[in-house]
Amino acid sequence: MGGARVGGTTPGDMERAEQDNVIKSKLGRIDRKIFVMSGKGGVGKSTVAAYLALLLSQKGYKVGLMDVDLHGPSVPLLFNVQGGLQIVDNVVHPYRFSDHLGIVSMGMLLGDRDAAVIWRGPLKISAIRQFISDIEWGDLDFLIIDSPPGTGDEPLTVAQTIPDAEAVIVTTPQEISLADVRKSITFCRQVHMTILGVVENMSGLSCPYCGKEISLFGKGGGMSMAAAMGVSLLGEIPIDPEMVKMGDKGGLDRLTENVDLEINRAYDGIIAKLINNRSS
C-alpha cells in the first residue's frame, strides 16, 4: 500500500492474483464506471469527463474521477488541483475536490507539472491497476475515467480491469475525428465494453455578437455517424470560449453556476441519458 508504489514495479503472479481480488472488491463498491474515450486527441475528452464528474457530484452523487492519461494528465489542471493524494493511516485517498468528488491522476504524483512520464506498456498497466487497488475510493455512485486518445494500453487496461465499464465516446463533428471514433466503437465491441453513446463536442458556436450559429467544425456528423454505427447520440455540446478560459484557469466549476449557458443545457441532457440508460 501507499502512494509511493504507484508507478513502481510490475507484480508477480501471486501478487497479481491478490491484486485482482482487491480490485474486484473495490470495484464492487462502485455502482457505475463510465469510461470517456475517443480515437482522436484534443476533442475534449478530459473536459467532458471532468465536467460530467463535476455536475454529477453537484447533483448529490458520490463521484470519483480517475485520470488514466499517464503521459498527459489534464484533470489536475482543469480543477487547479494543488495538493496530492491524501494518505491517512497508511491508506491512500483520492484528492478531495469537494465532499462528493474525489480525484486521482498521475499529474498529482509528479512533483513537476512539466515532467514527462516515459513508460513502457507493462508499467502503464501496473499503474492503472494500482489506481484502483491501492486507492481508497470508498462507496461511489459513479467513477468517471478519462483516457488518452486511441486504443492503446490505457483503454485496453481499463477494459480488462473493469469489465462492467460503460463507454462514452467523444467526437468533434468533422470527418477526420469521426473516422477515428468509428475505430473506438470497433474497439469497444471487440473488448465487449458496453457503449452508452457518442457525444459530439465542439458542435457549433453561437456568435457572441449577433447570436447566429457558426458551424466552425460542421455540425451533426456525430448524429449521422452514431446512426450509421448503431449507437446512441448522447448529446451535442457547443463550443463555448468560456470553457477554454475556465479550463485553462482550472476553474471549470465556476461554469456550472450559470444554468442558462447552452453548454449546461447540453450537459444536463447527457447526464439525464447517462442516469437513465444504464447498461445493467
Ligand X SMILES: Nc1ncnc2c1ncn2[C@@H]1O[C@H](COP(=O)(O)OP(=O)(O)OP(=O)(O)O)[C@@H](O)[C@H]1O
| Residue numbers at the binding site for ligand X (CB under 6 A) | 38, 41-47, 69, 72, 74, 148-149, 201-202, 237, 239-240, 243-244, 247, 263
Residue 98: CB minimum distance to ligand X, A: 20
* Sign of CA pseudo-dihedral 238, 242, 244, 246: negative
SS3 249: helix
244 binds, among Mg ion, ligand X, none (CB under 5 to 8 A by kind): ligand X
**Gap between the Cα atoms of 85 and 83, Å rounded:** 7
Specify burial of residue 136 (Cβ count, 10 A radius: 0-12, 13-18, 19+): middle
Residue 88: CB minimum distance to ligand X, A: 31
**Gap between the Cα atoms of 50 and 45, Å rounded:** 8
Contact characters 52-91, Mg ion, x per CB under 5 A: ----------------------x-----------------
Among 19, 46, 157, 177, binds Mg ion (CB under 5 A): 46
Specify burial of residue 260 (Cβ count, 10 A radius: 0-12, 13-18, 19+): exposed
Residue 203: CB minimum distance to ligand X, A: 8
Residue 144: CB minimum distance to ligand X, A: 13
Interface with Mg ion (CB under 5 A), residue total: 3
In the complex with Mg ion, which residue's Cβ is closer, 11 or 72?
72
Which residue, chain included where needed, has cell 513502481?
Answer: 8
In the complex with ligand X, which residue's Cβ is closer, 27 or 109?
109
In the complex with Mg ion, which residue's Cβ is closer, 170 or 271?
170
Q: Which helix (H) or strand (E) holds 237?
A: strand 233-239
Cell of 147: 483516457
Binding site for Mg ion (CB under 5 A): 45-46, 74
